[in-house]
Amino acid sequence: SMSGAPGGPLGLLLVEYDDIPDEDAALLAHVKTLYGHDPHFEAGPATMVEIGGQRWRAATCRTGAELTHATNLVVLWSKSLEQVRSGTRGDDGYVLTLTLSGELEAQALLDHPILSVVVDSLP
């Protein structure tokens, strides 16, 4: 995880999970569990993003206000390298979360000059 720079929040978090089905509703419920406590929480839609040549289920949400206003991208990521290479996953794996200041689309977080260095290194 990274702290905010003078430009605002900046973060990357990878956490293991074992009970999130590969479904939009399950992902959106998990996003609300992660960020719903924030009084400025605003859920975004579920989407698919491309990382490492594979498409993954993801969702955005917005949190914070003023200088701490941020967009969070939450991606369901496979647990094994074999699953990553085949683009499949079960109900267990990793939640990859990217956080960046401002109101952004999912792809903008993946393309950020600092976050993209880490994301592009993923298999």
CATH of the domain at 15: 3.40.1000
Would 2 be classed as within a structural domain?
A: no
Question: Global pTM?
Answer: 0.88
Would 111 be classed as within a structural domain?
A: yes
Domain count, the chain: 1
Q: Six-digit token pair at 74?
A: 């939450």
Q: What is the DSSP string of 1-55?
A: ----BTTB-EEEEEEEES---SSHHHHHHHHHHHHTTSTT-EEEEEEEEEETTEE
pLDDT tens, position by position, 43-79: 999 999 998 888 899 999 999 988 788 999 999 988 7
- Cβ atoms of residues 97 and 11 within 8 Å: yes
Would 3 be classed as within a structural domain?
A: no
pLDDT tens, position by position, 1-20: 455 556 678 888 889 988 89
- Strands, sheet with 54-63, edge to edge from the N-terminal-most edge strand: 10-17, 93-101, 70-77, 54-63, 42-51
Q: What is the pLDDT of residue 119?
A: 87
